[in-house]
A = this chain, B = another copy of it.
Amino acid sequence: MRTDTVYKKAFNRTATMLRDGQLAGELPSENELRRRMCVSRTTVRKVLRELVHRELITERDGLRATGRAVGDYDYYPDVETTSRAKHVEQQFMEWMLRGDTKPGTSINELELARQFGVATNGIREFLIRFSRFGLIEKRPNTGWLFKGFTEDFALELFEIRVMFELRSAQLFSRQPDSSPLWDKLAALKIAHIELLARIESRFHDFSGLDNRFHRLINEASPNRFIDDFYDIISFIFHYHYQWNKQDEEQRNHAAILEHLAYIDALESRDPERIERACRAHLASARATLMRSLIGLDE
C-alpha cells in the first residue's frame, strides 16, 4: 500500500505552525494552506480533519480556529514521514558506503528487497535512478554490478568537476556588473565570514553553504548537464561525509578560507586569478576525499 508520508509530514508541519503561533486565531482557507505546504487540497483536508478530531483546532459554522496547545506527543514519528523510496535510498547508501561491499560485488534485487523490507520494484527503481552516478552498472537479465566507490571514481569525478567549474566560474565573472548575482555572491561572502567566526560550534552548517555557493556559480550560465552533474556530487558527498566525520571541523574551516579566496577572485574579474583559486579549492576537496577513501580500507 502506498505510504501516507505526505499526509503525516504535512500534519507535522501544520502542528509546528500552530505551536509557533504562525496560525494564530482564524485559520486560512484550504487553498491558502495548500499553497503554503505544497501539497494537494485533498491532503490539506485530511490534515484538517485530524486536527479537528484531536481538538487542536475547532470548527464552528465552517470557521476554523486554533484549539488546545500542541504537545510533543501529537507529532508523527519522523520515520513515518519519509517515503519508501527515500528509505530505500538511505539504506542502500549505508549498505554501499559503510558495509564491506567490495568492488565487483553483484547486487541482488531480491536480497536487498528482503533486507530493506520493501518490494523488489522499489529497489529496482532506485537502482535505475542511482545507476547514473557511475557506481553501479546493469547487466540485463542478470543483475547489477557494483563498481566500487574507488579512487578511480573520485579521480574521474573530479576531472569533470574541474572542467565544469572552471567554465562556470569564468562565465560568472564575465557577467555585467548590473547582474543581481553579484549581490548574491556578496551575501554569500558575508555568510562565509560569519560562519568562520563561529566555526567551532557551527561547522556543520558549511555543507549547506557549500552547496549554495557552487550552485550560484552555475546560475550565471545554466546548463542542465552541469546541473545534473552537480546533483551527483551533492548526493555522493552528502552520504559519504554523513558517515565520515573525521576532521570535519578542520576540513570545513579550510574550505571556507578557500571559498573566500575564490569569491575574491571572482569579484576581481581576473581570469587567471579565478582559475588559480578555483583549482586550488577543487584540488583540496579532492585530496580530502581521497584521504577519506584510503581511510575506508583500514
Using a CB–CB cutoff of 8 Å, the interface residues on chain A facing chain B are 6, 121, 124-125, 128-129, 132, 134, 141, 153, 156-157, 159-160, 163-164, 167, 223-226, 228-229
Q: Is B125 a contact of A160 with CB atoms below 8 Å?
A: no
Q: Is B223 a contact of A159 with CB atoms below 8 Å?
A: yes
Known: A134-B228, A160-B225, A163-B167. 9 other contacts (CB 8 A): A121-B121, A125-B128, A128-B129, A132-B132, A156-B224, A156-B225, A157-B225, A160-B226, A225-B229
Q: Secondary structure at chain A's binding surface: helix, strand, loop or mixed? A: helix
A121-B134 Cα distance, complex, nearest whole Å: 24
Number of copies: 2
A158-B157 Cα distance, complex, nearest whole Å: 20
Smallest Cβ distance from A160 to chain B, in angstroms? 5
- List 6 A-B pairs, Cβ < 8 Å: A128-B128, A132-B228, A153-B224, A156-B223, A157-B225, A160-B223
A217-B228 Cα distance, complex, nearest whole Å: 24
Across-interface contacts of A124 in B (CB, < 8 A): 125
Across-interface contacts of A159 in B (CB, < 8 A): 223
A53-B253 Cα distance, complex, nearest whole Å: 74
Closest to A86 in B: B140
